Structure 1
C-alpha cells in the first residue's frame, strides 16, 4: 500500500489527466442514453471512487522541510470524515438509480432520503469539529485558511481581550521611552543600579474572551450553515411525500436556500444592519470562504434544472433552441446531444 501511495504522489498530474479522461468517456457511452444505465453508472462511480482515494493520498502526503528534513505529522489524526463524505457523494447517484431499477420510480426516495440523512449527519459533525466554520465544498474540503489580518472582527476581538497588553505602536511616546529606559538598565554601571529584589511570580496567562457583540453573529452564521446542510434532506423528504411534480418541494428548497444565504450574507457582510448595532464590525471572509460563497451562488442555477420548473419552462426553451439549430449542419446534431445530456442532468438534480 505504501508503494502505491508513493507512486500516486509521484505521478499525480498524469493520473489526474487519465481520471478526467475516463470520467468524461463514461458520458459518451451508448448505453448511457438508453434505458439500461446501471452498468455505465457503476463504471462512472468506480472511476469517481478511485479519483477520491487518489486525491486523499495526495492531500495527506507528509511535508518534508528543505532545511531540517523533518516530516510534519498529520494535523487531524481523527477519522477522515471529509473523505467518507466524498465517498458517499460519489455513491449516491448509483444508489438512486439502483433503487429506481429495483424498487420503482415512486419507491426510490426512501433509500435516497437515507443517503441524504447520512450526508447531513456527517456535515453537521464536520461543522462541529471545525469549530463551526463555513463548510467548503459541502464539507469535503477542510476550512484551513485563516482570516485576513485586516479583518475588523479580528481587530475588535484583540482590542477587547481582558488583560491584553497594547502594542508599542499604540503606546504614547513617553511610555515607550520609559520602557526603553527600563530595558537598558542592565547596561548602566553597577553603582547606579539598585540592588535586585525578589520579583513576584509572573501572572497566569490571560484567557481570550469572545466579544459580546460577536456572539449573536456567530450563532446567526451557525443557523445559516445548519439550514443549508439540512436543505437536501428536507427536499428529498418533501418529494417523498408530495411527489416530484409538485411545486411544494421546489418552493420549500428555494425558500430554505434563500434564507440560509440571506443569513450568511447578513451575518458576514452586513451585521450592523441585521442586529441594529452600528458598533458591530463586518467580518471579512477568507479567500477560501469567498470562493465557497461564489460556488453556492452558482448552484442556484440548478433550480432551473429541477422539476417541475424544468418540465414547464426550461425544457420548452431547450426544444425551441434544438428546432432552430436542427437544420444547421453539425450544430444541429450537437444541439440534440446537448439537450439529451441536459435532460439526463435534470434527473440527477
Structure 2
C-alpha cells in the first residue's frame, strides 16, 4: 500500500488552500467565498486522518507497536482523531446550525478530549500529554526486515572491514543488503540511528508526583474552565483571558521543576511555552491592542521587503477569519 507522508498531506492542504484563495479573489459572484475555508479545512483534516490510518497500517506490517497497552492505544487514537477533525467540525457546524451549534460542538469536543486525557494521566499514568498524541512515523527511517538483513546482522564484524589509513568502516560486497532496504550511510551510522530510534520509541513517560499530576490536570482542564468562564462573563470580558493565562503559566511553572524528562516531553514543554504567544492573538487582547500593530507590520513588510508580499498579503486576508475560529486559538 502506498505511504502518504505528513509533508505530502501538508502540501495537499497548502495547494488546496491557495487554489481556494484564488477563487475568492474572483469575487463573490463565483459563489466560493463562503465555502473556501471549510473546504480547505476538510482537505487538511482528511489528509491528517489518512496519515493516521497509514501509520497504523505501517506499524502493523513492520510489527513496531507503540510501547503502551492496547486500551491506551485506543484512547490515543480517539484523541488523535478528535484533534484532526476539531477545526472542521467547528466550522462545519457553524455553517449548518449557526453559533449555538458551533459552541455546542466546541464544548462536546473539549469535554471528550479532557476525559480522554485525564484517563491517560490518572489511570494509565501516561505522564505529560504531548501533541500530537501519536507521533507520525518517519517513513525515511522505516525499513522492513528482510531475511538477508537478518543474516547480515548475525555475522557481525565479518561483514565489514576497517581501512588501514582512513580508519573508515566499509561494508563488504557480500554483506550488501537487498535493494528495498539498501542505504548509503556507513554501517556505524546505521547502527547508531537504529539504536537511537528504538530507544526513543521505547521511552517510558516520566513518573509524575502529586504536584506535577496536579499541574498536568490543570493544563488538561484549562479549556473547560475557559469555556465556563466565557459562558459566565462573555466573550468581551478580560476575565476568561486572564484566567486561562494564569492556569497555563501556573501549570508550566509547576512542571518546570521536573528532572530527567525524555526528549519528547522536553519538546512538549517548549511547545507549550511558545504557545503562550497565542495570547497576543486571542480576544479581547487582539481586538484592543494586537490587531492594528500586526496588520501594520505585515503591510510594511509586504510593501518594502521584496518577495515577502507573497506571504504577508494572504496572511493579512486570512488572519481575521483565523482569529475567529476557536480551535485555532484556544484548542
State TM-score, norm by structure 1: 0.63
Query: Mapping of 1:162-177 within 5 angstroms?
Result: none
Contact residue 96 and residue 108 of structure 1 kept, 8 A: yes
Q: Higher mean Cα deviation, 333-342 or 80-89? A: 333-342
Question: How much has 1:42 moved relative to structure 2?
Answer: 2.2
What CA deviation, in whole Å up to 9, does each residue of 1:245-276 have, x standing for no partner? Answer: 3212211111111111121124x2xxxxxxxx
* Structure whose alpha-carbon radius of gyration is higher: 1
Match of 2:180 in 1: none
Map 1:3-18; keep pairs closer than 5 Å: 7-8=1-2, 12=3, 15-18=5-8
The 1:41/1:286 distance shift into structure 2, 3 A limit, reads closer
Aligned to 1:208: none
Q: 1:77 to 1:134 in 2, by over 3 A?
A: same
Alpha-carbon distance between aligned partners in 2 of 1:289 and 1:122, rounded to the nearest angstrom: 19
Alignment of 1:39-188 (within 5 A): 39-63=39-63, 76-78=69-71, 80-105=74-99, 108-137=102-131, 139-140=133-134, 144-146=202-204
User: CA shift at 1:75, angstroms?
Assistant: 5.2
The answer to whether 1:244 aligns with 2:260 is: no
Q: 1:317 aligns to what?
A: 293
SS at 1:29 equivalent: helix
> 2-side partners of 1:133 and 1:335: how far apart?
39
Residues 58-82 of structure 1 show CA distances to partners (whole Å, capped at 9, x for unaligned) of 3444448xxxxxxx89852335211
The offset of 1:290, in angstroms, is: 1.3
State whether residues 26 and 40 of structure 1, in contact with CA within 8 Å, keep that contact through their aligned partners in structure 2: yes
C-alpha displacement at 1:53, in angstroms? 1.4
2:15 is aligned to: 25
- TM normalised by structure 2 equals 0.66
> Displaced runs of 4+ in structure 1, greater than 6 A?
none
Q: Superposition pairs for residues 274-293 of structure 1, below 5 Å?
A: 283-293=259-269
Cα distance in 1 for partners of 2:201, 2:106 equals 28
CA distance in 1, matches of 2:54, 2:75: 16
Aligned mates of 2:131, 2:316 — CA distance in 1: 28
Correspondence for 1:35 = 34
Tell me how many residue pairs correspond in the alignment: 250
**Structure 1 counterpart of 2:319:** 342
Cα distance in structure 2, aligned partners of 1:144 and 1:241: 45
